[in-house]
Amino acid sequence: MKINIGTKNEIKIGALQETVFGYDFLKNAIVKGIESRSGVSDQPKNLEETVRGAKNRARDAFAGCDLSAGIEDGLMEVPDSRTGFMNVTVCAFYDGTRHYLGISAAFEYPPRAVELVKGGLDINQAFYEMKLTDDPQIGSSRGAIGILTKGRWQRKDTIKQAIVAALIQLDNKDLY
């Protein structure tokens, strides 16, 4: 089986490679990262846009493979949270006919970061601007979550959660 993932981000590719080997029907899968378009803003600001970005990436990456995946991080509105928003990762698998979606656990960015994102920066730029990191591309390494949890939770962990959630339907086809 061949799985294309719509990204060149090594964290996303590695998370998928590490996760699929835990599934009998995917354990021999070859994972390949390819450029794909999300069709949404660099920093999605609502759940609908984040889901659409993941689905677009998966659909765009579906070529010469059995299954493709798209992963997109973005904000979603959460009532009664301090900023009104939390970040989630969405994974969409695509089999050429339909999508299978999964979403990670959510967490809240600091209020200043949310304001910078609402003003047009992506989260990498916001954390860099706030001097929380000297890495302008934290999304390609530990991620904002790695900074906020002081290394207890890495971006790869969040991506894996979304992947596992998206694989539920594929792993339990008789239930869906």
Phi and psi torsions of 28, nearest 5°: -100, 15
Residue 31 is predicted with a pLDDT of 98
The per-residue pLDDT for 138 is 75
CATH class of 2-105+152-175: alpha beta
Does the pLDDT value for residue 140 go beyond 80? no
* pTM confidence score: 0.93
- pLDDT at residue 19 greater than cutoff 80: yes
74-123, pLDDT tens digit by residue?
Answer: 999 999 999 999 999 999 999 999 999 999 999 999 999 999 999 999 99
When the pLDDT of each residue in the chain is averaged and rounded to a whole number, the result is 95
- Nearest CA to 48 out of 36, 56, 59 is that of 56
- The pLDDT-based confidence of 33 (bands split at 50, 70, 90) is very high
Rounded Cα distance between 44 and 71, Å, is: 12
Walk across the sheet containing 85-94 and list its strands.
30-33, 2-5, 67-77, 85-94, 99-103
Which residues are CB-contacts of 101 (< 8 A; sequence separation ≥ 6)? 51, 54, 55, 90, 91, 92, 165, 166
Mean per-residue pLDDT for 150-168? 96
Cα–Cα distance for residue pair 45/40, rounded to 1 Å: 10
Backbone phi and psi for residue 152, each to the nearest 5 degrees, phi listed first = -70, -25
